[in-house]
């Protein structure tokens, strides 16, 4: 009997101790959370709170008049996008530019893969390293600097025109920058110049991860170098290529602004204005903040939807999500 009571007492004490322990643990885990609160505040301020800015798309907001004194206009700005034919034509042109730039970038997304395969065929290690360093360098300069380089080399009295004239290839200087001819191609070439070397690094890393015994075995079987590339290297790079391709599809509407902003001028305006630049020009240039917010809101929603769809496609086709 005594024994039973003793046991009961003991288990009560144990329970009490456990409760105390749990309480202390909970307190500690809350305290730990308090340590990251300052950072969470930053996340809220710069990632979640800006979403609240979307309400400006439903008001006629004209700074410095505050939002509470602005008129609620409902869907007016969204209707305005398709209201008159000039507006529609302008927006269509912007969408065409955006699609063209994205499609060109997707169509050339196998360039880095070929670049990596070619670079891998260069035997001399030092030579290969030098190439890699120098070709990845342009990725780390800003678009402003790229523009500065473009200006120095391609303006009417720049180096390229000078050279072509000296070689008697052309009689008068070509206006590379101040013209609207081949704007999309020029933009593609600049982004290729800047990004090709860097884009290939991920493939070079995949190549170095390929099991060398595969190559040895194929060689013994009499495969030529081309066959090694065709049947071993390229298939091994396909998963990486697929992920990169999916990522560029999900960024279809996000061309970014810097490149197009620095290269834009009165001549090439029609074909250089992609969505991001258009939003800037409308919002900051013409001060139509509400209308620009409406466009940027649609753009963000479509982008999230694209990412979601691409992720589903990725899950279905290769059994792994990309995000």
Q: Does 149 bind another protein (CB under 8 A)?
A: yes
Q: How far is CA 110 from the centre of its chain?
A: 17
Element (H, E) at 69: none
Nearer to another protein, 19 or 148 (CB): 148
Which residue of 107, 118, 181, 211 would you call a contact of another protein, by CB under 8 A? 118
For residues 243, 183, 196, 238, the Cα torsion angle rounded to the nearest 10 degrees is: 30
- In whole angstroms, the minimum distance from the beta carbon of 304 to another protein comes to 5
Exactly one of 11, 133, 179, 270 binds another protein (CB under 8 A); which one? 133
Binding of another protein at residue 170 (CB under 8 A)?
A: no
Q: Hey, which residues between 67 and 106 contact another protein (CB under 8 A)?
A: none
- Using CB under 8 A as the binding rule, whether residue 49 contacts another protein is answered as yes
Segment 254-293, which members bind another protein (CB under 8 A)? 257-258, 261-262, 276, 279-280, 283-284, 289, 292-293
> Residue 172, interface with another protein (CB under 8 A)?
no
**Interstrand relation of 71-72 and 59-60 (parallel, antiparallel or unpaired):** antiparallel
Q: Near another protein by CB under 8 A, which window of 4-12, 84-92, 114-122, 175-183?
A: 114-122
CA angle 167, 171, 176 (to 5 degrees): 90
In this structure, are residues 262 and 143 in contact, taking their beta carbons and an 8 Å threshold? yes
Nearer to another protein, 2 or 213 (CB): 213
> Does 312 interact with another protein (rule: CB under 8 A)?
no
Distance CA 202, CA 198 (A): 8
C-beta of 4 vs 32, nearer to another protein: 32
Reduce the DSSP state of residue 71 to 3 states and report it. strand
**111 sits near another protein (criterion: CB under 8 A):** no
| CA–CA gap between residue 68 and residue 75 (Å, rounded) | 18
- How much is the CA Rg of the chain, to the nearest whole Å? 29
- Among 5-13, 25-33, 94-102, 178-186, the segment contacting another protein (CB under 8 A): 25-33
Cα torsion for 292, 294, 297, 301, to the nearest 10°? -130
């Amino acid at each position: 009997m005594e024994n039973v009571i003793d046991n009961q007492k003991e288990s009560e004490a144990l329970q009490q101790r456990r409760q105390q322990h749990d309480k202390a643990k909970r307190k500690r885990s809350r305290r730990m959370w308090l340590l990251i609160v300052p950072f969470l505040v930053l996340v809220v301020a710069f990632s979640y709170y800006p979403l609240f800015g979307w309400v400006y798309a439903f008001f006629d907001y004209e700074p410095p008049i505050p939002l509470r004194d602005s008129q609620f206009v409902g869907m007016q700005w969204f209707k305005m996008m398709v209201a008159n034919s000039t507006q529609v034509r302008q927006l269509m042109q912007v969408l065409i530019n955006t699609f063209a730039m994205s499609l060109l970038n997707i169509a050339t997304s196998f360039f880095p893969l070929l670049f990596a395969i070619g670079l891998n065929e260069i035997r001399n290690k030092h030579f290969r390293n030098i190439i890699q360093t120098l070709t990845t360098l342009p990725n780390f300069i800003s678009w402003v600097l790229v523009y500065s380089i473009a200006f120095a080399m391609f303006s009417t009295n720049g180096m390229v025109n000078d050279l072509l004239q000296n070689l008697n290839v052309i009689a008068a200087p070509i206006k590379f920058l101040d013209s609207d001819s081949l704007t999309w191609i020029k933009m593609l070439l600049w982004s290729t110049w800047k990004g090709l070397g860097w884009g290939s690094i991920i493939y070079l890393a995949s190549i170095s991860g390929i099991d060398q015994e595969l190559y040895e075995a194929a060689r013994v079987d009499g495969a030529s170098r081309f066959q090694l590339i065709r049947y071993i290297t390229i298939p091994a790079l396909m998963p990486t290529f697929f992920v990169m391709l999916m990522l560029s599809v999900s960024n279809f509407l996000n061309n970014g602004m810097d490149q197009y902003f620095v290269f834009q001028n009165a001549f090439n305006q029609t074909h250089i204005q992609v969505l991001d630049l258009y939003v800037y020009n409308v919002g900051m240039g013409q001060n139509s903040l509400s209308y620009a917010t409406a466009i940027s809101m649609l753009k963000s929603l479509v982008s999230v939807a694209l990412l979601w769809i691409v992720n589903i496609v990725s899950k279905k086709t290769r059994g792994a999500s990309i995000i």
